[in-house]
């Protein structure tokens, strides 16, 4: 991975930040795109203090014009990415039920989760095809695999669409030396998730859910970032079209 260009979206906090750090530790030339300028600057300074130089760009990842402009600028400064981690996404932070979700709610999540992933893949894949090599990891979700009353129908649906997109791209671009996989985390204890759990669940409910996880703990950022590190490495060259569950066995694949 040393010297390879890695682009991580929504990489200034949470899972994205952890993934970016893991790739930087492996010697990748890491570039972070995020909408939070202050978090990006803080991250760049913190990484530099650890000896890792990263590139950053502040932009609205939902805007297709800004995405293309940012990518064109990236290509002026470095080589086309060999690694793409599509981490941008999220829910509406409200436990909506299906009949409460408006068209605007759906369109917002489709743009933020699915279309951002589609547009980034469109930008990066031509360079990967030319190089006959590439690694793409999309951020899916346990919710998109198995449903979730906690997340809402629109979030479940768009994450499921990302899973299907992952399988299709893996088939289409496998002959070009490109692997495409998705990681599907359960509850990973980022700062944001800790806050949501505190708002939505009582201590008794949290304890009950913890007992449903065979390994008896919630996930940590490292559980996801180290899985991504493996998937983008040359050691994972025969793994593509996989949806990797990272949920401590709370829901098991068959």
Q: Is 52 marked active-site?
A: no
Report how far residue 32's alpha carbon sits from residue 224's, in angstroms, rounded to the nearest whole number: 17
3-state secondary structure labels for all residues of the chain = CCCCEEEEECCCCHHHHHHHHHHHHCCCEEEEEECCHHHHHHHHHHHHHCCCCCEEEECCCCCHHHHHHHHHHHHHHCCCCCEEEECCCCCCCCCCCHHHCCHHHHHHHHHHHHHHHHHHHHHHHHHHHHHCCEEEEEECCHHHHHCCCCCCHHHHHHHHHHHHHHHHHHHHHHHHCEEEEEEEECCECCHHHHHHHHHHCCHHHHHHHHHCCCCCCCECHHHHHHHHHHHCCHHHCCCCCCEEEECCCCCCCC
The residue from 52, 71, 146, 155 that is catalytic is: 155
Q: In what order do the strands lie in the sheet with 178-185?
A: 55-58, 29-34, 5-9, 83-86, 134-139, 178-185, 243-246
The token pair at 53 is 């130089």
For the annotated catalytic residues, the residue numbers are 155
């Amino acid at each position: 991975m040393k010297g390879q260009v890695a682009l991580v979206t929504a990489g200034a906090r949470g899972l994205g930040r952890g993934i970016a750090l893991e790739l930087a530790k492996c010697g990748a030339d890491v570039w972070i795109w995020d909408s939070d300028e202050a978090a990006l600057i803080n991250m760049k300074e913190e990484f530099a203090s650890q000896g890792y130089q990263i590139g950053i760009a502040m932009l609205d990842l939902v805007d297709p014009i800004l995405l293309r402009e940012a990518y064109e600028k990236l290509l002026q400064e470095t080589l086309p990415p060999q690694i793409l981690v599509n981490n941008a996404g999220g829910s509406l932070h409200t436990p909506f039920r299906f009949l409460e979700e408006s068209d605007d709610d759906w369109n917002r999540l489709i743009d933020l989760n699915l279309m951002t992933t589609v547009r980034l893949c469109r930008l990066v894949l031509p360079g990967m095809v030319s190089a006959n090599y590439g690694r793409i990891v999309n951020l899916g979700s346990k919710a998109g695999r198995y449903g979730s009353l906690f997340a809402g129908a629109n979030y479940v649906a768009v994450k499921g669409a990302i899973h299907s997109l992952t399988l299709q791209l893996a088939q289409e671009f496998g002959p070009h030396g490109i692997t495409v996989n998705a990681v599907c985390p359960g509850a990973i204890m980022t700062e944001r998730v800790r806050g949501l759990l505190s708002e939505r669940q009582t201590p008794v409910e949290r304890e009950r859910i913890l007992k449903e996880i065979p390994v008896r703990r919630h996930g940590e950022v490292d559980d996801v970032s180290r899985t991504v590190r493996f998937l983008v490495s040359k050691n994972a060259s025969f793994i593509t079209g996989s949806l990797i569950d990272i949920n401590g066995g709370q829901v098991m694949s068959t």
